[in-house]
Amino acid sequence: MISRKQFITSGLTLVAGSVIAAPLRAHAAQTIMTVNGPVNASDLGFTLSHEHALVDFIGAGQVSKSRYDQEEAFDKVLPYLQQAKKIGCETFIDCTPAYIGRDVELLRKLSNASGMHIITNTGYYGASGEKYYPAHVFKESEEQLAKRWINEWKEGIEGTDIKPGFIKCGVDRFPLTSTQEKVLRAAAITHVETGLTIGVHTGDGKAALREMEILKEMNVHPSGWIWIHAQNEKDRNFHFTAARSGGWVSFDGFGGGNLEEYISFIRDMKSANLLQKVLLSHDAGWYQVGEPKGGNFRNYTAIFETLIPALKKEGFTHQEISSL
């Protein structure tokens, strides 16, 4: 068994005996940092661990809030959050990082209007050929990068008092580039200073294991790390290795059409006695800057409407589903 103190110091949290939503910073005993400040962990409720409200894929060199109307984005996203809230979601973890459309003021407005807890992040996203790294990433040291992110935790993001609840990074497939490894080390430094959990968009299982190696070298326990998009790796042995080491395995692309695949992922993790290390989400949304009216939007309800009923039919207990 792991103690409550261990959960708090590792950036995880224990709620009613179950682990929920790993990308959460324990600001003080039993509290989590949201865009509206610390919230009691026991008040988080059902949590979607990987979603997006708004994304801009133009690239770090051109991204700007001037490229969209924040009110239009607000009007587009709010009904989907309200729908998710009505169906049972209480907390929404927004995984859009800086330089790819992170807008913390928009997230706060959406949180206030929907009544949903929303958690944002610090860190940089290096997948997609490092298109979303700002120029200073290639020049600065890992310590300098970490200082930027630690400052967001201490002082607030972009001149606001809104603070991050986790660190978001991203890499492509193995092998990682030297810059991606540097950014991971910066994330590790930030984690050690702040306790913020590190979530990494990851291309394959080999890349995931390399991330774990780097973070361990930097004194980050695997429980402070989330393998984002683990569904992209079909070899279950990688999932088992990551989870048995203490890491979080996130199957976060559920959309209804991939039901059998997700049932299989979850069933196999249960058979390996690793269900407690699984996270589930949709990677859904989002208002896409540059598309008319934000483009097509995927809702945040498929887990409630499709996956949970299917798990019940498969014989999963209420306790197992609550843990997920």
pLDDT at 321: 93
- Select from 255, 249, 244 the least CA-distant residue to 228: 249
- Decide if pLDDT at 118 tops 90: yes
Biggest alpha carbon distance in the chain?
53
pTM over 0.95: no
Q: What is the pLDDT of residues 50-74, one digit of tens each?
A: 999 999 999 999 999 999 999 999 9
Q: Look-up: residue for tokens 């999963």?
A: 316
The whole-number pLDDT of residue 26 equals: 43
Report residue 212's pLDDT band, with 50, 70 and 90 as the boundaries. very high
Q: How confident is the model at residue 31 (pLDDT cuts 50, 70, 90)?
A: confident
Residues 144-182 have pLDDT tens digits of 999 999 999 999 999 999 999 999 999 999 999 999 999
Amino acid at 209: L
What Cα–Cα distance (Å) separates residue 170 from each residue in 139, 157, 220? Answer: 18, 20, 17
Name the more confident of 316 and 19.
Answer: 316
Rg of the chain's alpha carbons, rounded to an integer?
18
Sign of the Cα torsion 10, 15, 16, 17 reads negative
Whether the upstream peptide bond of residue 286 has omega within 30° of 0, thus cis, is: yes
The three-point CA angle 205-208-211 to 5° equals 155
Residue 170's pLDDT is 98
